[in-house]
Amino acid sequence: MGSFVPTAGSVERQWHVIDAEGVVLGRVATEASRLLQGKHKAIYTPYIDTGDHVVIVNASKVRLTGRKEEQKLYRYHSGFEGGLREERAKDLRQKNPVRMVEEAVRGMLPKTKMGEAMWRKLKVYARADHPHAAQKPRAATSTQQEVA
């Protein structure tokens, strides 16, 4: 009898909701990347996207430890000469809190085409409401115990 190897069509994808209110940013990101990659499943295969969909709510209330609120910098480049832009975490939280969480999760995913496909299954919302109730998402509980 041979080993079972999942195919892309045989993977059943579920939906998970992570509430980021009061939880450290890195804890939320690691849990989300683990679910997006499918590492929580018994059929996990590194070269096949076996991951699930992840919805992160309350992104604006995620917690940063230490002095990261003042010191952490988010950099991006326009592509033109001298086009490097920097924003502090506290400014980015006011302007676009979703981007903080998205960048943390994206940095933990593979930098390949499959990593891009995994990243597309991530949905982040600044508030508690989301439009994915029809998918019947289940709550991801491992980060919920970390609330300080």
Domains in the chain and their CATH numbers? Answer: 14-146 (3.90.1180.10)
User: Where residue 8 falls among pLDDT bands split at 50, 70, 90?
Assistant: confident
| Model confidence pLDDT, tens digit, residues 9-52 | 888 999 999 999 999 999 999 999 999 999 999 999 999 999 99
Residue 88, strand partner residues: 73
pTM confidence score:
0.89
Tokens of 86: 């920097």
Identify which of 56, 70, 46, 71 has the alpha carbon closest to the alpha carbon of residue 25.
56
Quote the pLDDT of residue 98: 96
Q: Please check whether residue 62 is in contact with residue 96, taking contact to mean a CB–CB distance below 8 angstroms.
A: no
